[in-house]
Amino acid sequence: MSNGTLHAFRHALLRDAAYQLQLPGDRARLHAAALVALEKLCGGRPASRPLRAAPDSDRIDPHPIDPFAAEIARHADLADPSGGPEIAAIRKLYLRRAAEHSERSFRPEEALPAWRALAGLSGGLEQGEALRRAGNVARIAGRMPLAEELYRGAVAVSRKEGHRPLEGICLGNLGVVLLQTGRREEAIRITTEALGIARETGNRRSEGEMLGNLAILLRESGKTAEAEALTRQALELHRACGNRPAEALGLGNLGNLCSQLGRPDEARRCYREALGIQQETGQRAAAATSLNNLAQLEVQEGRLADAEATLVRALAAAREAGERRSEGIVLGSLAQVEMLQGRTIEAVRTCRQSLDIHREVGNRRFEALALGNLATHFSDSGRHEEAESAFREAIRLDREVGNRRVEAGHQCDLALCQLACGKVEEARVSWEAAGAILRTFGEVAFEAEAEKIREACRQAGRPPFPSSLWPVGTPPG
C-alpha cells in the first residue's frame, strides 16, 4: 500500500517472484512481523498447554486466533528456519490450535497435516498422543492405511515410554481400523488386548468402548446372544462414565442387533435415542449412521419415499462432517432405495459412486454389499453371467471380513440368480451354503430368505429344495 492505494499482484507467480527477491534475513523478519501482527489482531497469544496422553476429552478452549493458527504456525517456521526452542514452542502451540479448529469445523484433511507436524516437533508421550490424534482424523477422512500406520506409531511410542493407559487407547483405536477394513481375527486380538489394559489401568471409559467393539465382531460372526449381552454391559459403562458419544454408538449397535433378531420397534427406539444424543453433541458423522439405520427400517416397511428423505439427510450430514466412509455407506443405501423405486439408471450410478468410495477408504465389508446390490441389478436385467460373477466376488469379500449374515444373503441371492437361468443344481448348492449359515442366526433370519427360495422354485415350476434345509415343522412347499 502507498499513498492510500492498495496494490495487488495480478498473478501468484509475480507474488512469488517478489518474495524470492527479498534477502533471507529480510524474509524472516517479515514473517516474524506478520506473526506479531496477527496475534495483536486476534487478542494476543493464547496460553500454551501441553498435549496430554488422554482420551479425546482433552481439548483446548476455542480462541479468536484459531482460524489463523495454521498460517501463524507457518510464519513462525519461516521466521526462524534454524528451528530454535522459542520458535518451536510457538509452532507447537499453533499447530495444535490449527488441528483442533479444523476438527471442530469438520475438516479432517486439514487437521491431519497439523497433527503430523506437531508429532514431528514433539517427543515422548506428547508425540504419541499427536500421532494418535493424527490417526483419528486420517480414519475419519477415510485414509485407512495411513490411519493404521499412525496408530501403530503411537502404540510404539507409548510402549517405549512405558505408558500403559496410552498404549491401551492406541490399541483400541487400531482395533477400530482393523474392524472397519475387515481384518476380523486381528481386530479381535488387538481389541481384546486393549480391553485387558483398560481393566488393568482402571480406565472404565475405554473398557466400555472395547466391549462395544467386541460386541460388533460377535454379532457379525452370528453370536447374537453374546453380542447383545456385551452391548448392554458396554452401555452401562458408557452411562456410568458420562461417555455420551459412545452411548449413542452403543445404542446404534443394540438397534442393529434388535433389527437382525426381528425386533424392529425396539431397534427404532434405539436408533432414535442414539440420533438424539448425536444431534445434541454435534456428532454429524455418527448422526448420518443413525439416519441410515432408520432408513433401513423404513425400507423394510415399504416406506420408500420416507427412506429416501431420511437418506438425503444422512448424506448431507456425512458430507458436512467430511466422513468419506459414512458417505459411501449412505450412498449404497440410497442406491438400494432407487432400485426398489424402479429408477434403475440413477441406482446404478449411485451404487458405483458408493463402490468407488468403499474401495478408496478400504471398506471391504460395504464394498461387498455394494457389489451384491449391483449383482442384483444385473440379475433383474437378465445379465446373469455378470450377476453371478459379482455375487461370487461379494461372497469372497464377505468371507474375508467374516460377515457371515451378509454372506448368507448373497448366497441366497446367487441361488435365485442361478434358478432364473436354469442352473438348478448350482442353485441348490448355493442355497445349502446360505441355509447352513442362516440356521446359526435363528429362525427369523432363516425364514426371511427361505421364503424367497420357495417362491423362486414355485415360479420355476419345480419342487422346492430338500426339506433337510427347512426348520423343523416348516413344510417345504
Tell me how many helices (H) and strands (E) the chain has: 22, 0
Q: Which of 359, 370, 274 lies closest to 314, judged by CA?
A: 274
Predicted confidence at residue 41, as pLDDT, reads 81
Q: Give Cα 56 distance to the centre of its chain.
A: 17
Distance CA 118, CA 90 (A): 11
How confident is the model over 441-454, as a mean pLDDT? 66
Average pLDDT over residues 65-83: 80
Q: Which amino acid is at 268?
A: R
Encode burial over 391-428: b for 16+ CB neighbours within 10 A, e otherwise: bbbbbebbeebbbbbbbbbbbbbbbbbbbbeebeebbb
pTM for the full model?
A: 0.70
Looking at residue 66, the DSSP 8-state letter turns out to be: G
Tell me the mean pLDDT in the region 303-328.
93
Nearest Cα to 145, choosing from 153, 31, 71? 153
pLDDT reported for residue 219: 84
Residue 290 to residue 244: CA distance in whole angstroms: 15
Give 183 or 129, the one with higher predicted confidence: 129
316: left (phi over 0), alpha (psi -120 to 50) or beta: alpha
Question: What are the beta bridge partners of residue 5?
Answer: 2
Give the pLDDT band of residue 182 (cuts 50, 70, 90): confident
pLDDT computed for residue 474 by the predictor = 46
Going from the N-terminus, what domains does the chain have, and what CATH number goes with each?
A: 246-352 (1.25.40.10), 368-477 (1.25.40.10)
Confidence of residue 470 (pLDDT cuts 50, 70, 90): very low
Span 130-149, mean pLDDT? Answer: 90
Residue 3 pLDDT? 55
